[in-house]
Each structure stands twice: as C-alpha cells, then as structure tokens.
C-alpha cells in the first residue's frame, strides 16, 4: 500500500515537473523582451521608440534613433564604411531611403552578440559595447545621448 502511494506521488510530481518545464522553456529562450520609451524630439513633439531589454539593459536600434531625431537639433546620420567602422555624422539628417521605423516590439529568441565597436564622431573615436541582432546595431539610449 505504501509503495503504491509513493509510486503515485512520484508519478504526479514528475508530471507536474514536465508540464512546468515544457511551458517555461520558451520564456527562458527569449533574450529580447519588448520595451518602449517616449522621446521628446522637439519642444512640442514626442515620439515612441521601441526596443528590447537584454540582460537588464534597454537597447534600441541605432537606425530608429537616427530616424526619430531626423530634422531635430540632435539629428545625426550613420555612415557604415567598407572596413566595418561606423561614423556618426552630427547635424546631418538620417539619409537611409525608404527606412521603416519599428512600430512595436515582439519577443525575440535566438542569438544576440555583444561586441565592442568604435565610432568616429567629429574625428573623435569612441568605443561602446553594443548588441548586434540580424546585422542591426542596438545601443543603450544613455550611450547614444552621451555622444551628443
């Protein structure tokens, strides 16, 4: 009788563990949880920027930031050079044609790489850690706004 109760209890425990682990694994595989922030572009205009929380930090697409600031006093363009270096051109409108701003965040899974990248801004070299997802550069807002 005791063996039967123990066996049933063990089976019930294992079943609960299997159910919990199978439903929780997609959450653990997700690295990018959606986040958004409203950025004040001019005195009377705000724009919502969508990004991802990765390892406790909020990252936003550098292209999206440049697109949102286009036409403002903080505008900048991104020049990607053939040698892999990147130049941020202050006081220049974002020049990418037909760019589509990310309009909402979705949970992302897969690989994200964190690399150290140097940027040249007004002949000054600055080094930041960035997240690269599908070839797109994601930076923390605080890092981008320190540049300007």
Phi, psi of 84, rounded to the nearest 5 degrees: 95, -10
pLDDT per position as a tens digit, 81-114: 888 778 888 889 998 878 888 777 666 666 677 8
What are the domain boundaries of the chain? 29-147
pLDDT computed for residue 94 by the predictor = 92
pLDDT band at 14 (very low <50, low <70, confident <90, very high): low
> Cβ(72)–Cβ(84) under 8 Å?
no
Q: What is the pLDDT of residue 17?
A: 47
Say what the pLDDT of residue 85 is: 76
Residue 55 confidence (pLDDT) above 80? no
Instruction: Give 16-42 pLDDT, tens digit per residue.
Output: 444 444 433 333 334 677 888 998 887
């Amino acid at each position: 009788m005791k063996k039967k109760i123990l066996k049933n209890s063990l089976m019930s425990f294992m079943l609960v563990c299997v159910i919990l682990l199978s439903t929780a694994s997609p959450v653990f595989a997700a690295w990018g949880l959606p986040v958004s922030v409203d950025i004040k572009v001019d005195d009377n205009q705000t724009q919502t920027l969508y990004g991802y929380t990765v390892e406790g930090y909020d990252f936003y697409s550098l292209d999206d930031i440049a697109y949102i600031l286009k036409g403002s006093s903080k505008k900048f363009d991104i020049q990607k050079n053939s040698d892999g270096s990147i130049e941020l051109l202050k006081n220049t409108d974002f020049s990418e044609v037909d760019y589509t701003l990310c309009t909402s965040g979705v949970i992302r899974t897969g690989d994200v790489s964190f690399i150290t990248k140097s940027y040249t801004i007004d002949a000054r070299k600055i080094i930041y850690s960035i997240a690269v997802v599908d070839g797109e550069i994601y930076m923390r807002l605080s890092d981008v706004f320190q540049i300007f």
